[in-house]
Structures are given as structure tokens and as C-alpha cells.
Amino acid sequence: MIHHTKKFLSQPEGKTLEFKQDMSSPKGLLKTLVAFANTAGGRLVIGVTDDKKVIGIENPLDEEERICNMIADTIAPRLVPNLELYTAHDKTLLLVNVFLSGLRPHYLKSEGPETGVYVRLGSSNRQADKHLIAELQRGVSGISFDTLPMPHLSADDLDLPAICSDFSERKINDSALHSLKILLKDQGKLVPSQGGMLLYGKERRFYFDDAWIQCGRFIGRDKADIFDHLDIHDPLPKSVDSIMLFLKKHAFRGADFSEVRRKDIWSIPINILREVIINALVHTDYSHQGSPIRIAFFDDRIEVENPGGLLPGLTVEDMKQGVSQIRNPVIARVFRELALIEQWGSGIPSIFSEAKAGKSQWAA
């Protein structure tokens, strides 16, 4: 939510801010309000053009009543935003302030609860699929996907040797696995959590088809010409080293790519890449279906794609400041116990800090 009213006119449109010239296209306006309520809150400013020209609105009290009626008639569950009239450049603007809702997911009544749910992605509104709707519902209930039990499975479905290898200095038994939430008590017996199976399931791909990592080294700056690829199906903690080995292999081979290209790529410090990889593995939305985690190595950059948007209430600016919301607490705790995570919320700030320090060194 944008708190400083005097500054909002100088801000670009984004996750928590949108400008509208008027209310002539009410459906788009209402989608924005639904998306704000489902995502991180936001402010809709009516009376400003796309190029930031303040034109104001006529009959502001009538328009205020009109939008209140529209919201009441078209959005469910009931949404009650805070409306303000604000004067700028001798023009009256209507501000519609929406907070992250505890009743989410909200939806447009005309489209229904299955197709009328929208979330905010950057400065646009995105229709939520059933997996994202389920995550919104879990978030309101304080439930995480990886903490749910898998009652039809048992401890025998876990790769115990892999767990013992990772926790070599710790005695691994049912009690230890329960402490780590890899096993949960359900109906009087211990069963794997979804996080436990994602981490160490023997048949992980059977239950979570997209829980793997696809790595590719491309020649050039797009995906037209692939030189090498690797599919990684290791337990998630082991995947960190497997991904880094793939990246290092192609960073330091000189036979196929120019010295200049390799130098450009490895102006990215290795610690930053490792932190980005860990962040992707820990914060992926594993309930999402359709794509694995993808690592794409180009001549001029490395892209890391993982399914899932930011959790409701979280913005990119929050992340830069070290605000942490954990999508997968079971996976995150195991990574922390294995010293793959040092401190909650430190990953993104350390990435920017190290990148800034590295940039200064390169400039020198």
C-alpha cells in the first residue's frame, strides 16, 4: 500500500498503484480492485490519464457513490475500500484505497468464484487459476502447501539414505523427522508431509510432476540454439550443488565460447547465483502445474524461473528491505538446518548488496 499521498502522482503504475482517467470502463477498474484485495492491497487513482496528466473528475460526490454501488453489486465477498477525495493541480481526484483482504479470494460475481478471481502481477491484472485460488485460500487459513500431510503414504516412501547423508552429524529417526516436519502425525500415525516428499520422496515426480529442475546452456541471447542441457531430479538440497556444477561447467570452458562472453557472465559473483538458486528452490509454488524450475544460461545473462508469484501482501520493495514470507516452511527449515540459508530474509538484500559491491570493484 502507498502511504504518502503527496508522492503517489510521481510514482509509476505497479503492483500497488494504478491510474484511471475516468470510470467509463468499469470492468477493468473492478478487476483492479479485486486484484489489489487478493494480492497486496493498492491504490486506484481516478482522474489521471495514462501519461500522468491530472484531469480530475466532475461531480466527485456522485462518482464516489457510483463506485461504492458498483463494488457492492459486482464483487464478492463484500469488499469495503477506503475512498478519499484529493485535490491536485486544482483538480479533484478520487482515490480508492484497498487493503489486503482477510476474506480473499475476492471475485467478480458476473464471472463466478472459479474464473472471476484476479491477482496483481506487476502493473497488470492476471486471472487466477485453480492452483493460485487454492493458495489464496490457504494463505487466509494460515496453511502452507508443504505442511499438508499425505495420509496414504508412510515413512517408507522417503529416501532415508539421502536424508542421513544430508544430516550426517545428526541421528535420524522418526522423532527427528517429525521435528523437521518431514513426517507429520495424521490420524494417529506418522505420514510424510508434502514438503517431506518434495525434499526426499522416493517417487517425488509421481506425486509432484513438476518438482524438478531443467538447466540449459544456449548459444547467443535467446533460446533458438541450445548447446547443452541437464534435467536434475536430485533431492532438493542436493540440487543446489548440481545446478551450480552445471553453471560452472559452462562458465569455464573456453573451447566453445569466447573469452569475452565468459568474462561478461562471471561478472555475476558466484555467491549471488547460489543465493538466487536457493531462493528459487525454497520459494517455488510446488502446487503449480505446468513447468519445472528452469535455469537458462545465455551469452549475456543467466535466467532463473520458478513457478509462483509473490505471496499476498509482499512486494518487491519489501523483499529488497529484507521482509520475508516463507511459502514452504518445511523446505525452508530443512535448508536452514543444512546451513543453505543463513538468516531469514537476508537472501535478497545480500544479493543486491554483493552486486553493488561487485559493480564498484569492476568500475575500479
Q: Report the distance separating Cα 52 and Cα 47, nearest Å.
A: 10
* Sheet architecture: strand order including 302-305: 226-232, 213-218, 293-297, 302-305
Return the CATH architecture of domain 5-141. 2-Layer Sandwich (3.30)
- Domain residue limits, the chain: 5-141, 146-207, 213-363
Cβ neighbours of residue 299 closer than 8 Å, sequence gap 6 or more: 218, 219, 220, 221, 257, 261, 264, 265
Hey, which bits of 70-180 come out as E strands? 75-76, 82-88, 91-98, 107-108, 118-121, 124-127
- The answer, as to whether pTM is greater than 0.85, is no
Domain 213-363, CATH class in plain words: alpha beta
Q: Tell me the three cell numbers of residue 308.
A: 509462483
**pLDDT per residue as tens, the chain (364 positions):** 444 445 788 888 999 999 999 999 899 999 999 999 999 999 999 999 988 899 999 999 999 999 999 999 999 999 999 999 999 889 999 999 999 999 999 999 999 999 999 999 889 999 999 988 998 998 888 889 999 999 999 999 999 999 999 999 899 999 999 999 999 999 999 999 999 999 999 999 999 999 999 999 999 999 999 999 999 999 999 999 999 999 888 875 543 444 444 444 456 778 888 989 999 999 999 988 888 999 999 988 899 999 888 777 777 777 777 677 788 999 999 999 999 987 665 667 777 777 676 654 444 4
Half-sphere CA count of 299, side-chain side, radius 13 A: 15
Local structure of residue 255 (DSSP, 8 states) = S
